[in-house]
Structure 1
């Protein structure tokens, strides 16, 4: 029960990242790299404050695994923020978590892990639900630049997820990743040049960094060792559904029959996968 609650809370934090990024970049007009840099800095500050409050030994910052985690996190942060210049929130979430699902399942196959048939069925049902919910209709075209950026972000997030499976110190690992990620993201921001920074946009970036990213990723690293790789990938398919629901509640987006049906498919797919785990 504690694991289920931890995963559910983490997925809500991930969904909040999409909503906050949409508000900061699309509605408040922040430069996506500025948003990503502030988000990373706020996350690093929050995590290291928590590390300082505990009695455990300080985490090792520089190691090959920490550098790999920081590089994956920086790539995700930049690609995620950049993609929302041209992608709507639903399509962006579909690309991100669809790519994540493919990479995570592909890695499980590469490792020759035992994947029950029910888990494959659950993943398929959940992906069908995402397509029903988020795939654009009519003559809308997919912006190539935004789609590419979100695809790269999805691959990077999958790598970050896979790297966190065996972490003995989730909080320390996440804090170190954010600290090493900050100069990487900041260097890209300085290279491109800073843009306008409205107060509301900076505030959403700080909340996204300190709360929904910093604490959310620490919770995710804590849950990962108890989750099979494929279940970790499938659980994250709930994030776009939660993000759309948050858009309905907070941003006044319409609640449609399509949303209800697709949400049921996604959550049903997750339930099938969890049944396979049991």
Structure 2
């Protein structure tokens, strides 16, 4: 890998993880009040992401698009977004994060094992340390979850893990992500028809959903797809454990929340675990 790529991949990975953290915050802000119902949030999120990405794609490739995404990836994107939104109505933030990223980890590690990719001892150690730090960070917010919430968030985590794994083969991240979003439109239409009686809209909720879809999801997922080819499935999974840490740091920077000892220790454990996983496989291609 060239020097430019060595610097580019960590930077883009960091941007993608920041987008994931922003998504969690925007979703919680919209649904906690609630300013928007879960179905409307999902519809506006994916629809706005599709519109923005297709406009960028049309400007970037004035001729034929180099890729068209896939129906399976689009289905996984829809299942993740819908399950994520509805689960947030039933679970506390810490509980939801623990279930979501726990299932993402399990899905991606299992995928590696099924493909016959035996993990090194250093990788297992890194995963264990990083996940321990993650649990330590969110544990104070973990409450007794509802069964429906657990099932929905588990389904969202599995779907996101599959969506991420499929992105590792993408040769054109922008085009694939744009078409993955656009292919969810038939599902969004069905969801809209089924949820008309639950409609709950507000101007503030609409803005939050558009920000989540157009920027944090659309652009964020495009960036994520662009770096996945440089990461192993195990690395891509464990890196996402940083999302709650980034969200907490965002609270420190923008909401003047105090830096706690728990946050610092959890961040060190997660970063240390990620370092071990990356060190175990220097050749990520």
* TM-score scaled by length of structure 1: 0.93
Pair 1:190-2:193 in alignment: yes
Deviation at residue 249 of structure 1 after TM alignment: 3.7
Q: Name 1:101's counterpart in structure 2.
A: 105
How many equivalent residue pairs? 274
Q: Name 1:245's counterpart in structure 2.
A: 249
Partners of 1:79 and 1:152 within 8 A in 2: yes
Partners of 2:94 and 2:141 within 8 A in 1: no
Separation of aligned partners in 2, 1:18 and 1:129: 19
Q: Name 1:220's counterpart in structure 2.
A: 224
Match of residue 166, structure 2, among 157, 163, 166: 163
Match of residue 214, structure 2, among 198, 210, 213: 210
Deviation at residue 200 of structure 1 after TM alignment: 1.0
Match of residue 182, structure 2, among 179, 182, 195: 179
Partners of 1:126 and 1:270 within 8 A in 2: yes
Q: Deviations over 1:44-103 (max 9, x none)?
A: 011101110113632454xxx611001000000000111110212222111111100011
Separation of aligned partners in 1, 2:214 and 2:35: 21
Q: Name 1:7's counterpart in structure 2.
A: 13
Gaps of 5+ in 2: 1-6
Partners of 1:19 and 1:243 within 8 A in 2: yes
Deviation at residue 198 of structure 1 after TM alignment: 1.1
- CA-atom RMSD, angstroms? 1.8
Separation of aligned partners in 1, 2:76 and 2:67: 18
Map residues 26-175 of structure 1 onto 2, 5 A cutoff: 26-55=32-61, 57-61=64-68, 66-136=70-140, 140-175=143-178
Deviation at residue 255 of structure 1 after TM alignment: 3.9
Separation of aligned partners in 2, 1:238 and 1:123: 12
Which stretches of structure 1, 4 residues or longer, exceed 6 Å deviation after superposition? none
Partners of 1:19 and 1:247 within 8 A in 2: no
* TM-score scaled by length of structure 2: 0.91
